[in-house]
Amino acid sequence: MRGRDHGIPSYNKWRHFCGMETVGSFDQMTAQVSDENVRKVLSANYPSPDDLDLYIGGMVEDPVIGGLVGPTLACIISDQFKRTRDGDRQVLDKL
């Protein structure tokens, strides 16, 4: 099942949410995806980065320094941890 079938916004929309530049073409993704072959496969399977599912786009990004995921997924994971911490009044008792 694709993310968009469940109403999950596209890769570019999540990048915008995270305060990052959106990409207009797969050729512009060199900062996020250093492997040219991966960018070619993406461009062969998606009309534009606006059509790219979050999961696919996030998984092919180069990882952030010291991390296992790229900047988009790191942003989403960080945001979720902050929301969990801020939404749980007893979180400090659990640390």
Mean pLDDT of 36-42: 97
Say how many domains are in the chain.
1
Would you tell me how many other CB atoms lie within 10 Å of the CB of residue 70? 18
pTM of the model: 0.86
Whole domain around residue 22: which residue ranges? 3-94
- For residue 91, the model assigns a pLDDT of 67
Q: Is the pLDDT of residue 1 over 60?
A: no
Mean pLDDT of 61-77: 97
CA atoms within 13 A on the CB side of 39: 15
Cα(18)–Cα(92) distance, rounded to whole angstroms? 26
